[in-house]
Amino acid sequence: MNTTDRFLSQTHTVKNQPPALEDYNLFAEDQALQEAVKREGAAWSEQDLLRFGAECGLPERITLGFAANANKPQLMTHDRFGHRIDQIDFHPSYHQLMDIAITEGLHASPWANPKPGAHVARAAKYYLHTQVEAAHGCPITMTFAAIPALHHQPDLLAKFGPKIMAPEYDGRNVPDTMKHGMTIGMAMTEKQGGSDVRTNTTKAYAIGAEGPGKAYELVGHKWFVSAPMCDAFLVLAQTEKGLSCFLLPRWRPDGTKNALHIQQLKNKMGNVANASSECELRGALAWMVGEEGRGVRTIIEMVAMTRYDCMIGSSSGMRQAIVQAIHHAQHRSAFGATLVDQPLMQNVLADLALESEAAMTLTMRMARAMDQQDNEHERLLARIATPIGKYWICKRTPNHAYEAMEVIGGMGVMENTIMPRLFRESPVNAIWEGSGNVQCLDILRAIQKEPEVLEAYFNELQRAVGTDKRFDFFVSKLKADFSSTPKEQWQYQARYFADHMAIALQAALLLQHAPAYIADAFCASRLTAHTSANYGCLPTGLDPRAIIKRALSA
């Protein structure tokens, strides 16, 4: 060391650190997604997705996600003069993300512009955008999902539908009559029984005539109301005939505030850019949606769509996690070699990439089923594969996020990377909209109510039977398990069935559509005795380099 060096203030040179992953095209870099979009019927959307994918990779777009999460929404129940306002203040970046999502049609495009592949195109776009920021996806999803439920009440749909589907975001706390676009939330969960909404105590009192489309006042509480600044909510409340569904506006048509009082915001571990609240309903005006006493049947239309969106959201989280992990490993060396070239790291990355591709492939297959609901096979498949996919993909995400974080090492734990956000977001979809057990029970309910769904499920698998011995064996074992398990044990075994149904469906799709090295690795690691609790235990004889390259080329 010479004297000059010793007295320089520069202590060291920063080396061996990856460049920030930005200025990349989230669609162009995602080969499997591009193939899925074509295959599932939305080739027409490719140019738009390429444009959008590039925008999602811009540093300024990525910054929006960080800013929206660093600045939690704040509730102001009253203004400084003492008026009740129930206002939530968000960082401007949240509003920008909402504005982009709605302008791009993520809240409604298949309803506003129905055409073959419309759900597929929307799912792909949603998948790209929630990689930037996932929490704002909650009101976007609920707005999207409200439309099928509102079909049960055509007069309300005619009145509010055009504004709900309009590509216009207006985040102001003002009556919907002053807006060109509306967002919709949902309020089902109460303190004494979340999954079991039959125990709800909120009551609805008719103002005049009773029945569908009529005005009621609601009295009670809701324990979870996410995105409470939405312009209206689908709410469950009891009438004399039982649990019914209502559309509750945030402001009354006369321009006064509706009595939906926000008590406090939830202090969530994740999903923090989105507000979730506890509310009280003190005679809040609402109109009945659909048949009286059949509220669950009505709102389930919304719930089915939100569950499907949970599949997209969690697949998207996995995609962002694996992309970050591979990018890091491509640029970081340890013990004399780049991480991505080291066999053990290859095993971990390839395994994470397989999980991510399988999740996306199943999700996009379900998007096609959504597009083809007039086809009986697709209808039946959507009925059973939505709870299967929601359960499995959401449940696989937390450990995936954690392993991807570990690939990045200590820096992966730091809040100025996206990894802690992906990790904290990861359990939310699994619990929201029917947690794991509830999904498993829903699979059984679907089979018991309409046994054809199981037939449709196995018909879907049949398309891949004969392509791989391990798969054939797995499917026949699953069939045998269904026949040999006494019905009274189905509930106890529901997770066993759900796990195996999900893996078989993913394998069937990969065997038909993915390159042989992907399908082979999936079958070798998920359908055989090699299956292990941790990622990174792929057996030998596979091609991890090819799997990683497909997920993200250097």
Ligand X SMILES: Cc1cc2nc3c(=O)[nH]c(=O)nc-3n(C[C@H](O)[C@H](O)[C@H](O)COP(=O)(O)OP(=O)(O)OC[C@H]3O[C@@H](n4cnc5c(N)ncnc54)[C@H](O)[C@@H]3O)c2cc1C
Shortest Cβ distance from residue 387 to ligand X (Å)? 12
- Nearest to ligand X of 387, 544 (CB atom): 387
- Of the candidates 520, 292, 359, 376, the one whose C-alpha atom is nearest the C-alpha of residue 32 is 359
Should residue 276 be labelled a site residue for ligand X when binding is judged by CB under 6 A?
yes
Contacts with ligand X in 439-468 (CB under 6 A)? 441
Round to whole Å and give the CA distance between 540 and 278.
52
Q: Which is nearer to ligand X, 202 or 435 (CB)?
A: 435
Question: d(Cα 500, Cα 307) in Å, to the nearest integer?
Answer: 19
Q: Which stretch binds ligand X (CB under 6 A): 19-27, 99-107, 184-192, 384-392?
A: 184-192
Taking the C-alpha atoms of residue 511 and residue 18, their distance in angstroms, rounded to an integer, is 35
Position 269 contacts ligand X (CB under 6 A): no
- DSSP 3-state assignment of 184? strand
Rounded-to-integer distance, Cα 332 and Cα 346, Å: 13
Q: Which of 95, 25, 101 is nearest to 56 (CA)?
A: 25
Stretch that binds ligand X, among 107-115, 116-124, 185-193, 475-483 (CB under 6 A): 185-193
Quote the tokens at residue 270. 């994740």
Please answer whether residues 327 and 353 qualify as being in contact, where contact means their C-beta atoms are separated by less than 8 angstroms.
Answer: no
109, 435, 506, 525: residue in contact with ligand X (rule CB under 6 A):
435
Considering only residues 69, 96, 153, 271, which one is a binding residue for ligand X as defined by CB under 6 A? 271
Q: Does position 224 bind ligand X by CB under 6 A?
A: yes
**Binding span for ligand X by CB under 6 A among 73-81, 98-106, 222-230, 391-399:** 222-230
397 binds ligand X (CB under 6 A): no
Contact call for residue 213 and ligand X (CB under 6 A):
no
Among the listed residues 20, 334, 431, 480, the single contact to ligand X using CB under 6 A: 431
When binding is defined by CB under 6 A, the residue of 25, 96, 143, 189 that contacts ligand X is 189
Which residue sits closest to ligand X, CB atoms considered? 194
Q: Which of 230, 418, 428, 508 binds ligand X (CB under 6 A)?
A: 428
| 423 belongs to the binding site for ligand X (CB under 6 A) | no
Instruction: Give the count of beta carbons closer than 10 Å to the beta carbon of residue 114.
Output: 10
Q: Rule CB under 6 A: is residue 268 a binding residue for ligand X?
A: yes
Which residue type does 245 have? Answer: C
Neighbours of 255 (CB within 10 A): 10
* Piece of the chain touching ligand X by CB under 6 A; list 20-28, 99-107, 180-188, 239-247: 180-188
301 binds ligand X (CB under 6 A): no
- To ligand X, the closest distance from the beta carbon of 526 in angstroms equals 24
Q: Which of 102, 123, 124, 186 binds ligand X (CB under 6 A)?
A: 186
Helix (H/G/I), strand (E/B), else coil: 444: helix
Q: Does 225 bind ligand X (CB under 6 A)?
A: yes
Entry field: residues in the chain? 554
- For residues 137 and 126, the answer to whether their CB atoms sit within 8 Å is yes
Cβ contact 534:518 at 8 Å: no
Structural tokens at position 449: 């109510």
Q: Express the helix, strand and coil content of the chain in percent, nearest 5 each.
A: 55, 15, 30
Interface ranges with ligand X (CB under 6 A): 185-189, 194-195, 224-226, 268, 271, 276, 428, 431-438, 441
